[in-house]
Structure 1
Amino acid sequence: MNKLTVLSILLLILSGCSHNINPENQIEKKVSDYDLEKAVALIEPIDRPFFEISQKDEITRLEVADYRERLEQVCEPYGDTPSLDLLWDGGLYEDETIDPIPLVQDLFYPTIFHEGIEIESAIKTDYIDPTGDVFNKLRLEITIISIDEQLEDWRRIYLFKEHKGEFRFWFLSEGGNVPRDKNMLRAKSKE
């Protein structure tokens, strides 16, 4: 084949693929508010281990295994599992003769169980293809913020994806821990 024939075939192939760029074939993004009580129910099992550990000065290896298992149960099978390892010194954890393990005292991990932390928004996003079918999985983004002046402008974003008909934790974006006293904010009183 000569160069002109190859170039002609290539142009025909490329022009045949251009219909996918047509705006009529683009995926529609539908955004809606998500119920805040349901959002709290989704965040609680993720934040609870961090909160419970923050109320202690040390943790046993058995407790670490239990907390990790609890977090794995609420996480998306292919998503992240929030790491508890930041709450203790990794070097001490590696030494298996140390049990219980002392916790880091100058690290605060805000949770929805602390006073001054609340949900700012919960937004559900559906991706719909041109035929009207839901494309990809539903995505839920929940943002918590601090209303306490000690943590001004702090926020954490939790991302969830639908898995077998229910939302499962997928990823934590922004706003992890804060280098401050671990007891910086008090626990919310039980209502």
Structure 2
Amino acid sequence: MKHSLLFVFIGIISFSLVVCNSSDQIKPLKEETADFDLTVATEIVKSKEKLIVDLSLKEKITQTEFQQLQNTLEEQFGQHARTILSIFIPYDVDNEMPSEILLTEETFYPTVFHKEVEVTKAVIHKSYYENEIFNETSLRITQDYVGKDENLLDWQREYIYTKNTDDEWELYSFSGVLNFAGEPYNAEYLPLEC
């Protein structure tokens, strides 16, 4: 009995090692990167961040406005809409909301509409695999604060887009700092570009 359990255990360990050692199969055969037009990248980001600027300048919204906003953010930000909403709306969106919803005052979400916030890099990254179904194309757009405010030095955000079924760039994820909260931050921490 002990010998058969030992063989089963060795078999499981051997199988696990073989499966775990298959990382060579998931590595891309070829990768390419190419610069993407910064003007076009800025327009892609602006289409999303305009909603955020408009929201950040409000003090309160009604339940109806909230529902409309939630739908619009889901269209623009997909699965990340709740993350964006949670920055500005301090309520559990799954529970009953008051008739007027007060927005968080001490939060600042830097956007390309703010002075000294720019799209500084845009790159298309392509990965090719043996099985074409795994091929990937992504657009990485990097924003940086280029001013001298010590609270914002080294601030950076990267949006990562992938192509949807209509061959349009769709937000996949983001990295970096989304927003700043608490004193001294607010929606007007940096002036908006005219």
TM-score range, shorter chain: 0.7 to 0.9
- Aligned residue pairs total 178
Counterpart in the other structure of 1:153:
154
Q: 1:22 to 1:135 in 2, by over 3 A?
A: closer
Gaps of 5+ in 1: none
Alignment of 1:5-20 (within 5 A): none
Partner AA of 2:48 in structure 1:
I
Partner AA of 1:49 in structure 2:
L
Q: Secondary structure at the match of 1:111?
A: coil
Q: 1:128 to 1:92 in 2, by over 3 A?
A: closer
- Which residue of 177, 180, 184 corresponds with 2:179? 177
Q: 1:22 to 1:93 in 2, by over 3 A?
A: closer
CA distance in 1, matches of 2:72, 2:33: 30
Q: 1:67 deviation in Å?
A: 2.1
For the pair 1:123 / 2:123, whether they are aligned, the reply is yes
Counterpart in the other structure of 1:44:
46
* Partners of 1:128 and 1:134 within 8 A in 2: no
CA distance in 2, matches of 1:21, 1:168: 28
Q: 1:31 deviation in Å?
A: 0.9
Alignment of 1:66-105 (within 5 A): 66-75=68-77, 79-81=79-81, 82-90=83-91, 94=95, 96-99=97-100, 101-105=101-105
* Partners of 1:50 and 1:84 within 8 A in 2: no
CA distance in 1, matches of 2:80, 2:93: 24
Partner AA of 2:135 in structure 1:
N
Calculate percent identity across the aligned residue pairs: 21
Partner AA of 2:148 in structure 1:
E
Q: 1:134 to 1:66 in 2, by over 3 A?
A: same
Alignment of 1:47-62 (within 5 A): 47-62=49-64
Q: 1:157 to 1:92 in 2, by over 3 A?
A: closer
Partner AA of 1:61 in structure 2:
Q
Q: Secondary structure at the match of 2:140?
A: strand
**TM-score, length of structure 1 as denominator length:** 0.76
Q: 1:142 deviation in Å?
A: 0.6
Q: 1:68 deviation in Å?
A: 2.0
Q: 1:103 to 1:74 in 2, by over 3 A?
A: closer
Gaps of 5+ in 2: none
**TM-score, length of structure 2 as denominator length:** 0.75
CA distance in 2, matches of 1:157, 1:106: 23
Q: 1:130 to 1:185 in 2, by over 3 A?
A: same
Q: 1:102 deviation in Å?
A: 1.8
